[in-house]
Amino acid sequence: MKKLILMTLASLSLFVFADGHESAPMSTDGAFTTLQVASPDIEKYRQTLIDNPSAFQATGATAAGICVTNSGHEYLGQMMVWSAFPNVAAALSGSTMYDPQKAPRSFERLREVKYGVTWKPITPFRLEPGFERVQRIKVSAENMQAFTAAIDNLEKAIQDAGYENFYNGAFVLIGGGDRDVGTVIVRSIVRDANAMGVLFDEFFEGNASWADEYQTVTSLGEVVSDNMEVCEQLYFGS
């Protein structure tokens, strides 16, 4: 039986799409910081971030939002808060401008901080926040160039098959601790869960014109984790 792994990433581009905001061009520019948290009340925490963007403003983020884990949870209330920056220097500098342990009192009971990490895109990427499959993939140094090319080819093949709102990208993690050493994050993005399901159905039914491109990607790395997330942008800069 074919091993199914629709390659998707990780995360995020400096410029993101939301209603009333134009999509940005594909780019490997920029960097992101993410704060992994557990929230007992995700909706309330989301609204608090909207009402109190002080953390995003303090770090100099150009955009920010959340990704809520929909399946493949490691813990209850799993989600991440992401912030976009023009480059890695700005991202690392921004991370020193805000201590999540000293957040306003309104945040204290709304989340437990797990860890933070910086992300750098290594393939051209444009985020269209929506329903996203996220995989951590071990890729050897000798396979990295072929892997990133295969990610780009898979995206084009799926778009050419009529899924013009499909996007993916690959990211490396900086300062993520021992959990992410040698790991590439691949994030594939569609508008909603149904659109993701249609891709899976097409593949299982043997009707995917992009199957060869997909098989090339799966041959170049080892998936070590896999989950679905629902992402959105909450902050659009000052």
Q: What is the pLDDT of residues 59-85, one digit of tens each?
A: 999 999 999 999 999 999 999 999 999
Cα–Cα distance for residue pair 91/59, rounded to 1 Å: 8
Cα–Cα distance for residue pair 143/147, rounded to 1 Å: 6
| Residue 3 pLDDT > 50 | no
Q: What is the pLDDT of residue 29?
A: 81
Q: What is the pLDDT of residue 46?
A: 97
pLDDT bracket for residue 129 (50, 70, 90): confident
| Residue 224 pLDDT > 80 | yes
**CATH topology agreement for domains 1-20+125-227 and 29-121:** yes
pTM: 0.85
Residue type at 197 in one-letter notation: G
Are 225 and 148 in contact by the 8 Å Cβ rule? The answer is: no
pLDDT bracket for residue 178 (50, 70, 90): confident
CB atoms within 10 A of CB 197: 12
Among residues 7, 6, 8, 24, which one has the least CA distance to residue 233? Answer: 24
Are 138 and 221 in contact by the 8 Å Cβ rule? The answer is: yes
Cα–Cα distance for residue pair 170/12, rounded to 1 Å: 9
Q: Calculate mean pLDDT across residues 52-64.
A: 93
Q: What is the pLDDT of residue 22?
A: 46
Mean pLDDT over all residues of the chain? 87
Q: What is the pLDDT of residue 26?
A: 62
Domain 29-121 -> CATH class: alpha beta
pLDDT bracket for residue 10 (50, 70, 90): very low
Least confident range from 10-14, 43-47, 120-124: namely 10-14
| Residue 25 pLDDT > 70 | no
Cα–Cα distance for residue pair 139/182, rounded to 1 Å: 7
| Residue 7 pLDDT > 90 | no
Architecture of domain 1-20+125-227: 2-Layer Sandwich (3.30)
Domain ranges of the chain: 1-20+125-227, 29-121
